[in-house]
Amino acid sequence: MATTKLGFIVQRPPYKSENPKLALTHAIASQSVEVYLKEGDLVTADIAFIGDGVLNCIKNQKAMDIYKLTSTETHIKMALLLDLNILVCKEDLARFGLTENDIVIDAEEFGAEMKTKVVPFSEITKMMEEVNHLLFF
């Protein structure tokens, strides 16, 4: 019985590359990893948005309407629905003049109980120290 903790750090804005989306879809895959593991073994995925990466969290993205592509917003909501821990850097939001009103906080319409956590960078540093491996996007 062991747990391996992974920290996914998203530092780039959405759409210009697939990275932020792949960060979310790979983190979500932590929910189905047990098929490869022994009973009781776990892989957990925490996700942090820092730097320009916080732009992924802006709400009302219309990528599906316009480009027929699932928006990063929807991927974040899926991650919340699957109870992943999502951190957003408070200082970076402030730097861009964004508030909690501007970003995805919950996915109540999907029945998600988890909420995005806006935290100081020091909390994200703590997460990076606690995980076993880091994955920067």
Count CA within 13 A, CB hemisphere, residue 10: 30
Tokens coding 70: 């699932």
| 133 counts as binding other proteins under rule CB under 8 A | yes
Binding mask 12-41 for other proteins (x = CB under 8 A): xxxxxxxx-xxx-xx-xxx-xx-xxx---x
Name the DSSP letter for residue 46.
Answer: E
Q: Distance (Å, rounded) from C-alpha 27 to C-alpha 8? A: 7
| 114 counts as binding other proteins under rule CB under 8 A | no
Q: Distance (Å, rounded) from C-alpha 79 to C-alpha 38? A: 24
Q: How far is the CB of 22 from other proteins (least distance, A)?
A: 5
| 86 counts as binding other proteins under rule CB under 8 A | no
Q: Which stretch binds other proteins (CB under 8 A): 66-74, 80-88, 108-116?
A: 66-74
| 135 counts as binding other proteins under rule CB under 8 A | yes
Count CA within 13 A, CB hemisphere, residue 129: 6
Binding mask 42-61 for other proteins (x = CB under 8 A): -x-x----xxx--x--xxxx
